[in-house]
Amino acid sequence: MYSGNELRDMFLKYFEAKGHKILPSASLIPKDDPTLLLTVAGMVPFKPYFQRRVEPPFPRATTAQKCVRTPDLEEVGKTARHHTYFEMLGNFSFGDYFKTDAIPWAWEYVTKVLKIPVKKLWVTIYPEDEEAKTIWEKAGVRSERIVGDPENFWAAGPTGPCGPCSEIYVDLGEARGCSKPGCAIGCDCDRFLEIWNLVFMQFNRDEAGVLTPLPKQNIDTGMGLERIASVMQGVETNFDTDLFRPIIDHVANLAGVNYKDNAKSDLALKVVSDHVRAVSFMLSDGIRPNNEGRGYVLRRILRRAIRYAKLLGIDKPFLESAFRIIQRDYAHSYPELKENENFIISHINLEEKNFQATLDQGTQLLQEKVKELIKKGETVLAGADAFYLYETYGFPVELTDEMLAEQGLSVDMEAFQKAAEEHRLRAKEQSQQMRAAAESPELTEKAKSLGVTPFIGYEKVSATPRIEAIFVNGQEVSDAGEGEEVVIFLSETPFYAESGGQVSDVGVIKTPRAEARVLEVKKGVTGTFYHRAEVRGGVLHVGESVEVQIDNAERLATTRHHSATHLLQTALRSVLGEHVQQAGSLVTPERLRFDFTHFSQLTPAELKAVEGLINEAVLKNMPVKATEMSLTEAKESGATALFGEKYGDIVRVVTMGSFSRELCGGTHVSSTGEIGLVKLLSEGGIGAGLRRIEAVAGLESLIYFRSLDEQVMEVAQNLKAQPLEIGKRVNGLVAQVKDLEREIAQLQAKLAKNEVNGLLSKVAEVEGIQVIAAKVQASDMDGLRQMADLIRDKMKSGVIVLGAASEGKVNFVTTVTPTGLSGLHAGQIIKEVAKITGGGGGGRPDMAQAGGKDPSKLGEAIDRVPTLLRGFLKK
Ligand code: SER
């Protein structure tokens, strides 16, 4: 009988003999793949090869790949074959061999190497794939054993490489089936077990769901190790294989139960054994339990394991001991279980301690809520309650939902999401404060003891230093995993730390199994470089040597802007005078900002002259040199030094031909031609006697001119004019618009007069008082009031109520002339009128205005005016 380990090796060896390169399993964190949270199949690491985004370094490969899939989480333990974590054996062709080789090899492996009796085997194909059918038949499969299945089309996610597939099934015998009539291949029961999927990868699917052929035809196959082990070991479920039994036995032992004693405890044992495998392997790849993305998937599985263990009666921490079994059985194939054991154990223990403490309280609370629901005859738990359980007791909402489902109830998921979103927004504000707190005394102390970090970034863009220390939230740690934001100290560094206005470099710190993105680098007073980084995958350890690499494209773009700043300073002095002093600067990959002393706005001619001088200096392609010397020497040589800048005895002087000479610690081009075109973008005042210029250099200038060009072209096209004529044409248009506006104003005045005259002819009488109540056209309150004024001027005595709808709202104006006429009050009248349209307002006795919300009620409101007035008059 073959063990799981033997089956893994046999597979890899078989395909190695067929010219495949054996590769170690990739991480469970997909690399550079935003479409997938976790590695869900053997093909995931090879997507770039299928898509030819990266040229495959070899034509064939074979792997045993760690995978995690969670859509069927709730099936785990209930069936013989569902798992969260599993291993997938696979052989892959990157545009090399295709169906004619993949199919006979699979058949040979199953029938000749594993020696599964042919009479137990079935094959499914994609219904239109006649070609596959013929090849299977040629390989020796009887045609009545080949069936079409429309679901045989495989893809790793909504987008990416995909293709029709073909599967091999084992018939485990009638006794294992559901015995329902029609139970045959394709039935959901445990009788027919899919053991191998052969995908003929030949399409790429885009966001719109459109399939385009991949550059070449590929092969991706997948055989679940746990399944094939169950077949080869002749056991009933995957959980009965040697891949699971030691863990199940261990957990059963802790719980004091016997496996296969009763269905309920068996289910729990299976869930726990599945979940602790997932938890161990996810942690070993540096995934850290938290509340987002894959960290949340991990937390959910981990807490689910604890809950099922509790159902078994395990009250004490048990995860570490279960992990030890997994480590013992798997570390020879997956060394990260050993290498990262500190990280794994510390997270397991922390998480277990926290969740165990609250599981009972939370469960009790939930039970009380359930009682209330049942009493009220309701079936849905409020989102806020589910969020409270999540927030206070750490109950993943899916767990709450699952616990409720056991009693026929559920969670209002939408309301839960809303509560969670509100909470997230609040938390975001707080995390900024956390960052400020990161400057802990412990961190400063460490920096002091490490002293100056040697900076090698003037000459080099990469290096292999040692990690001297790692801090998380101001606390020193020995290792850090995925998702953690850290401060790293290195033994030397090519990363430029933010200083002299130049922003820091960004880049990566990596080991063969881990990677962190350096987001920002600062230099402490002790000269120690703080690398603020985010671990993107794997685990980084103190003391290990790492590969560090700055993002050179960003660095070069920043460098161009820095060198341009030096040219700008000289140019300003020569155009404006020697009084120009640098007062601050910012140099980034995108632009430069230079603040300087000067008393008036620069004229267009001055700006042109400055820009011209800079670009001439660029075109002269002058050599740029950095020399270290004493400060005295530097000053004697005429270098421009910044007022108030603190330099040590030895300073760095950067010269650009004879054009510029400045004290500067920044990075620079090696000759001015590399700066490229420099374009001034803006000039303005920022305080008394202080000016600011912004400019771009190098590729950023190109980007600027391109966007300008695009806009000019668009305008030219709209005007149907030549690009260089648009100025003249636009001036003409502006004048025309002014004329038209004048004309419109005149017409509107005329219209208003007409409308007023029309209204005056429609005066009504209420109890002997003249009343004009009307719906009119007016775009705003001002227009409405002017109209009311015009009417009032013509009407010696009476009440005017005007209403107009505009932009989904209603405006009203009311006047009463003369003031106090028959005891009427404009403010009171309008209040009642506006109320009808869902609004309110008020005002003086003679004049009042109000707003309303519902334009469809405007007519009704106006019609009611006589009745309302009668009411007021009676009082
Ligand atoms: N990618 C396919 C699967 O996961 C075959 O490897 O089934």
pLDDT in tens, 258-285: 999 999 999 999 999 999 999 999 999 9
| Overall average pLDDT of the 748-774 stretch | 87
| Ligand 1 center from residue 43 Cα (angstroms) | 7
119: left (phi over 0), alpha (psi -120 to 50) or beta: alpha
pLDDT over 70 at 432, yes or no: no
Confidence grade of residue 426 (pLDDT, cut at 50, 70, 90): low
Atom of ligand 1 at shortest distance to CA of 90?
Answer: 6
3-class SS letters over 223-261: EEHHHHHHHHCCCCCHHHCCCCHHHHHHHHHHHCCCCCC
Q: Pairing state of beta strands 660-663 and 592-597?
A: unpaired
Mean pLDDT comparison of 153-162, 371-380, 384-393, 549-558, highest-scoring range:
549-558
Q: How many CB atoms lie within 10 A of CB 520?
A: 16
Residue pLDDT, tens place only, 1-25: 899 999 999 999 999 999 999 999 9
* Local confidence band at 209 (pLDDT 50, 70, 90 cut-offs): confident
Whole-number Å distance between alpha carbons of 296 and 293: 5
171 or 840, which is more confident: 171
Q: What is the mean pLDDT of residues 183-208?
A: 90
Asked whether residue 250 is marked as a ligand-binding residue, the answer is no
CB of 199 sitting under 6 A from ligand 1: yes
Pocket test for ligand 1, best of 63, 88, 205 (most atoms within 8 A of CB): 88
Does 160 contact ligand 1 (Cβ within 6 A)?
Answer: no
Residue 648 has pLDDT above 60, yes or no: no
| Mean pLDDT, the chain, integer | 91
Helix (H, G, I), strand (E, B) or coil at 149: coil
**Which pLDDT score, from 0 to 100, does residue 391 have?**
78
Spatial CA neighbour of 534 closest among 468, 492, 476, 481? 481
Tokens representing 687 are 């305080």
Q: What integer pLDDT is reported at residue 437 of this predicted model?
A: 39
**Ligand 1 center–CA 149 separation, angstroms:** 16
Residue in 49, 197, 219 to alter for ligand 1 test, most ligand atoms within 8 A of Cβ: 197
Q: Which of 62, 497, 39 is nearest to 282 (CA)?
A: 39
Residue whose entry in the numeric block shows the structure tokens 């220390």? 469
Task: Evaluate: CB of 222 within 6 angstroms of ligand 1.
Answer: yes
Long-range CB pairs of 668-671, under 8 A, 24+ apart, other chains included: 668/559, 668/562, 668/563, 668/566, 668/624, 668/626, 669/559, 669/560, 669/563, 669/624, 670/623, 670/624, 671/621, 671/622, 671/623, 671/624
pLDDT, residue 190, reads: 86
Report which of residues 434 and 457 the model is more confident about.
457
Q: Is 505 in the pocket of ligand 1 (CB under 6 A)?
A: no
- Cβ–Cβ under 8 Å, residues 444 and 524: yes
Report which listed range, 170-179, 353-362, 491-500, is most confident.
491-500
Residue 647 is predicted with a pLDDT of 45
Mean pLDDT along residues 782-788: 87
The answer to the question of whether 275 is labelled as a binding residue is no
The answer, yes or no, to whether any atom of ligand 1 lies below 6 A from the CB of 44, is no
Say whether pLDDT at 677 is over 70: yes
What number of other Cβ atoms are within 10 A of residue 408's Cβ? 8
Helices (H), 438-592: 441-450, 552-576
pLDDT given at position 390 = 86
Ligand 1 atom closest to the Cα of residue 199 is: 5
Query: Which tens digit of pLDDT belongs to each residue from 63-78?
Result: 999 999 988 888 899 9
223 Cα nearest atom in ligand 1: 6
Confidence at residue 794, expressed as pLDDT on a 0 to 100 scale: 86
Quote the pLDDT of residue 178: 86
User: Can you name the CATH fold of 441-550?
Assistant: Elongation Factor Tu (Ef-tu); domain 3 (2.40.30)
Nearest C-alpha neighbor of 100 from the set 121, 120, 129, 128? 129
Q: Which of 34-38, 450-454, 549-553, 562-566 has the lowest mean pLDDT?
A: 34-38
pLDDT at 796: 83
Tell me: the pLDDT tens digits for 684-730? 988 777 899 999 999 999 999 999 999 999 999 999 999 889 999 99
- Distance between terminal CA atoms of the chain? 104
Is the minimum distance from the CB of 196 to ligand 1 under 6 angstroms?
Answer: no
Residue 646, pLDDT score: 44
Q: What is the pLDDT of residue 641?
A: 59
Distance CA 96, CA 167 (A): 21
Mean pLDDT, residues 852-873 taken together: 92
Reply yes or no on whether the pLDDT at 435 is more than 70: no
How close is the Cα of 864 to the center of ligand 1, in Å? 73
Confidence of residue 651 (pLDDT cuts 50, 70, 90): confident
Which amino acid, residue 586?
L
161 lines ligand 1 (CB under 6 A): no
What pLDDT, on the 0 to 100 scale, is given for residue 292? 78
Q: Report the topology of domain 751-874.
A: Diaminopimelate Epimerase; Chain A, domain 1 (3.10.310)
pLDDT tens digits along 89-104: 999 999 999 999 999 9
Q: 465 CB under 6 A from ligand 1?
A: no
Percent of the chain whose pLDDT exceeds 90: 66
What SS3 class is residue 126? Answer: coil
Residue 439: pLDDT above 70? Answer: no
Residue of 490, 514, 492, 494 lying closest to 504 (CA atoms):
494
Atom of ligand 1 nearest to the CA of 222: 6
Tens digits of residue pLDDT in 395-417 = 888 889 888 988 889 999 999 98
Dist. CA 59 → ligand 1 center (Å): 18
* Residue ranges per structural domain of the chain: 4-236, 244-355, 441-550, 558-695, 751-874
Q: How many residues does the chain have?
A: 875
65, 12 Cβ separation under 8 angstroms: no
**Cβ–Cβ < 8 Å for 845, 826:** yes
668 is in an annotated binding site: yes
Architecture of domain 558-695: 2-Layer Sandwich (3.30)
Among the listed residues 663, 666, 646, the one whose alpha carbon sits nearest the alpha carbon of residue 655:
663
CA distances from 579 to 317, 574, 583 (A): 73, 10, 12
Which atom of ligand 1 has the smallest separation from the CA of 43?
Answer: 1
Banded pLDDT at 434 (limits 50, 70, 90) = very low
pLDDT: which is higher, 605 or 822: 605
d(CA 220, ligand 1 centre) in Å: 7
The CA-based angle 516-280-229, given to 5 degrees, is 125
Report which of 367, 365, 272, 350 is spatially closest to residue 310, judged by C-alpha positions.
Answer: 272
Centre of ligand 1 to C-alpha 42, Å, is 6
> What is the CATH topology of the domain spanning 4-236?
BirA Bifunctional Protein; domain 2 (3.30.930)
Specify the residue with its C-alpha closest to ligand 1, atom 2. Answer: 222
The reply to whether 664 sits in an annotated binding site is: yes
Closest Cα to atom 4 of ligand 1: 41
Name 799's bridge partners. 771, 816
Instruction: Indicate if the pLDDT at residue 600 is higher than 90.
Output: no
pLDDT at 436: 41
**pLDDT value at residue 760:** 86
